[in-house]
Amino acid sequence: MQVNDITPERLRRLAGVRPQDGKVLSVFVNLDPRQFATPPARETQIRSVLDQASRLLREHDSLAHAEREALKTDLERVRDTLTNGLDAKGAHAVAVFASTPAGLFELLKLSEPVEHEPVVSDAPFLEPLARLGAPERWCVLLANRRVARLFGGPSGMLEELELIEDDVHGQHSQGGWSQRRYERSVDKDVKDHLRHTADVAFTRLREEMPVGILLGGPEELVGDLESALHPYLRERVVGRIAIDVENARAEEIHAAAAEHIAAATRRRDDEALQAFAQEFARDARAAAGLPAVLAAVTEQRVETLLVDEGVAEPGVKCPRCGWLGTEGATCPADGTPTQPLDDVVEEAVERALTTAAAVRVLRDRPELASHGHVAAILRF
């Protein structure tokens, strides 16, 4: 099963790493099984990336002696981790961030292939991770008259969290008053089972609520199951799937859920784009185009950053106050000479993450083209 170590909290913490007297080495290894299916192929890929990183350190002209030596130590640690028993099962890529001055060494497994050369910079290079996005958690809850199964996790990586089994009376055919009383008893058992299922689901999910819940089971029971859910869960129900509750394999459940999850994700993108369009039309809480978005990011006013996949633009940064812009030799806030950035969009994404803003990377959506492929919904 695929794995993905990206979480919003982890991205925010990494985005906040800024060593005062050193640099950060960021290394990305593409392990796409379509290209690197065998151990020798993966080993060759890892060696190639490590050679790139070694060459980067040798050819990096602006490093001070102490920075270069620290990075050599970092690279050896990365080399040891990647070449001595790396457990990459379920990962389509790995990212490693290392900085001795910052006390940082972190490896993340990624669910999608990542192609990027090693980077030496003042902070972890998070653009490839931010554009993959922290996986949203989903839930599938299946129930019949006796058994329930709860699955949770990121899309495509749903794991079975709970198997719930309750004693429910079987069929009875004596007839008459005795049969009616028995049927009422069975109905009560089934309702108790659904309430028990709903209670277990809430207990397991309340600490980290899913963005969406799919229900499955016999048609005559699913409505009762939804009614039994805690209101916090009920409001997250986005659809129903038809599947064999007791016998369906995990792969079948993933397949049944995938179409609903893709549709729900697109609706969330639609809602974010619609909210931006409304605010922009009212000349209110919206920033459109890179200069305006960078200003909002600098002022920590971004609630949701919208970025088209693959967009990259050069820019500048003030090393003293952090001001971001598309151009300018000096910072307009304090007059400090600015530093050039190969990709100021990546810096904006990282800055947005540190201020707990949501980042939505849009794929195959034309709505932002007229705004330079970057926009934001603002907090104020």
Do the domain assignments include residue 2? Answer: no
Q: Bigger pLDDT: 198 or 3? A: 198
User: Which of 238, 185, 190, 189 lies closest to 215, judged by CA?
Assistant: 238
pLDDT for position 177: 46
167 shares a domain with 115: no
* pLDDT above 50: residue 61: yes
Model confidence pLDDT, tens digit, residues 320-352: 899 999 999 999 999 999 999 989 998 898 888
Residues 340 and 337: their CA atoms lie apart, in Å, by 10
What average pLDDT does this structure show over 99-114?
A: 92
Within-domain flag for 277: no
Q: Model pTM? A: 0.68
| Residue 230 to residue 194: CA distance in whole angstroms | 12
Burial letters 157-168, b for 16+ CB under 10 A, else e:
bbeebeebebeb
The H-assigned helical ranges of 60-175 are 65-83, 127-132
273: in domain? no
Identify the pLDDT of residue 62: 86
Q: What is the pLDDT of residues 22-32, one digit of tens each?
A: 999 999 999 98
Residue pair 133/361 in contact by the 8 Å Cβ criterion: yes
Question: Of 221, 236, 268, which closes a domain?
Answer: 268
Max mean pLDDT range (41-55, 111-125, 162-176): 41-55
Does residue 280 form part of some domain?
A: no
Distance CA 374, CA 380 (A): 18
274 domain-assigned:
no
What does the pLDDT read at residue 37?
82
**Do 149 and 236 fall within a single domain?**
yes
Residues 6+ apart with CB under 8 A from 87: none
> Which residues lie below 8 Å from residue 334, measured CB to CB, with a gap of 6+?
318, 320, 321, 323
Q: What is the DSSP string of 281-330?
A: HTTSSEEESHHHHHHHHHTT-EEEEEEETT----EEE-TTT--EESS-SB
Question: For position 40, which CATH number holds?
Answer: 3.30.960.10
Last residue of a domain, one of 111, 132, 153: 132
Residue 229 domain-assigned (yes or no): yes
Q: Please check whether residue 278 lies inside any domain of the structure.
A: no
Evaluate whether residue 122 is within a structural domain: yes
Is the Cβ–Cβ distance between 156 and 258 less than 8 Å?
A: yes
Q: Are residues 260 and 297 in the same domain?
A: no
167 and 199, same domain (yes or no)? yes
12: pLDDT strictly greater than 70 = yes
- In this structure, the answer to whether residues 197 and 290 fall within a common structural domain is no
Instruction: Calculate what percentage of the chain has a pLDDT beyond 90.
Output: 63
CB of 141 closer than 8 Å to CB of 197: yes
Q: Do residues 176 and 259 share a domain? A: yes
Whether 142 and 244 map to the same domain: the answer is yes
| Position 91 pLDDT exceeds 90 | no
The CATH number given to whatever domain includes residue 153 is: 3.30.420.60
Q: What is the pLDDT of residues 293-321, one digit of tens each?
A: 999 999 999 999 999 988 989 999 998 89
3-state SS, residue 377: strand
Last residue of a domain, one of 107, 132, 157: 132
- Residue 127 and residue 196 share a domain: no
pLDDT value of residue 172:
46
Residue in the structure block whose two tokens are 């001795």 = 100
127 with 146, same domain? Answer: no
Q: Which pLDDT belongs to residue 134?
A: 58
pLDDT of residue 87: 84
DSSP strands (E only) in the chain: 24-30, 93-99, 104-110, 119-121, 137-143, 147-154, 159-165, 212-216, 237-241, 286-288, 302-308, 315-317, 324-325, 339-341, 358-362, 374-378
Token pair listed for 164: 């719930």
Owning domain of residue 255: 137-268
Residue 308's CATH number? 3.30.1330.30
Instruction: Tell me, yes or no, whether 210 and 298 share the same domain.
Output: no
| Same domain? 154 vs 257 | yes
Domain count within the chain: 3
The 10s digit of each residue's pLDDT in 241-296 is: 999 999 999 889 989 998 898 888 888 899 999 999 999 999 999 999 999 999 99
Q: Are residues 20 and 112 part of one domain?
A: yes
Mean pLDDT across the chain:
90
Condensed to tens digits (0 to 9), the pLDDT of residues 231-248 reads 999 999 999 999 999 999
